[in-house]
Amino acid sequence: MLIFKNTKFIKSPFENEAELEQIIVDNYEYLFGPDSFYLPKTLIKTADGKGTIPDGFAIDLGERKWYIVEAELGHHDVWNHIAKQVSKQIVASLQLATKQKLEDISADMYENDEYIKEKFLNLGIKSVDVRKVVRDILQDDPIIGIPIDYIPNDLKDWARQQRHKVKLWIVSKFVELNNKTNIVFEFPEEFKPALDTEEEDKPQKANTQLTQYDVDIVDLVNSNILSIGETLTMTYKPKGGQTQRFEATILEDGSLKLFDQQFSSPSIAALAGIQAAGSDRKTVNGWTSWKNSENKSLADLREQLLNTDITP
């Protein structure tokens, strides 16, 4: 249950798969990252012409990854519905005609959507290189991205047996008690999947107790990589504006204090900063944005912790 003043929100099932699909379209950056953009549903075909329509595709320009997106409800049959549907989508996505179609759609979105164009420009990708960058990303195998309301055990087992990487995110729906028209949705913090076979398959680093998704700022404090009261900085230059510098203080619980407000997520803290600077972006990666006095990002410090053997 969620409580806001005197208002109570209770966890509720999605009315149908289409409701979940639309929430993902509207909020895709909270799953696929701040440098991603979302390609809408499009018909793709296998080599023999069998058609299939994934719920969408996501291309992460920063991480150079792309996703076949299939929003699902946990009560759907894993073997006769989810596995069968995704298998056809994988085969169709690997066809050259599909990749050409996705490249064309991406180039068109770049030309006609200023919000998406800015993502390319922020990463230093010039107009002349847009197609090449997208084409290079599409050369790698897609990741199967499944937003879902809950994860059955069979789906976990299926995901871990796939040659292609699979990421599962849990998205939850809450409805106000006695007012079903007032709805809020819960997305994972810091884009964290509930299951990520790509992460599971990586070689174990020196720190055997933590993975990338496990590390919080408080872990960096407890490992003496950061300290309570230390100041982190972030700079941001809005389009057509002046570069602005922000300072956040690390509190005892690992949260960041910025604008006299406490943030448990470095990405939300960074978002508060860039929006105060005039940005209309919905997400930002706080782990790469915030830096210490030695100009090391939180992501760099996280890698330092993961590569440190802390065996007693």
Rounded to an integer, the average pLDDT of 211-239 is: 91
Q: Above 70 in pLDDT, residue 185?
A: yes
Q: H-helix or E-strand containing 102?
A: helix 96-112
- Which pLDDT does position 206 carry in this prediction? 74
Q: What is the pTM of this model?
A: 0.89
Q: Do the strands 44-45 and 51-52 form a parallel or antiparallel pair, or are they unpaired?
A: antiparallel
Which residues have CB under 8 Å from 195's CB, separation 6+?
Answer: 151, 156, 159, 166, 167, 168
Q: What are the backbone angles phi and psi of residue 163, rounded to the nearest 5°?
A: -70, -40
Rounded to an integer, the average pLDDT of 298-311 is: 86
Q: How far is CA 45 from the centre of its chain?
A: 27
Q: How confident is the model at residue 308 (pLDDT cuts 50, 70, 90)?
A: confident
- Computed on alpha carbons and rounded to an integer, the radius of gyration of the chain in Å comes to 21
Report percent pLDDT > 90 for the chain: 84
Cβ 255 vs Cβ 220: under 8 Å: no
Report percent pLDDT > 70 for the chain: 98
- Which pLDDT does position 310 carry in this prediction? 66
Identity of the residue numbered 121: L
In 3-state terms, the chain is what percent helix, strand and coil (to 5)?
40, 25, 40
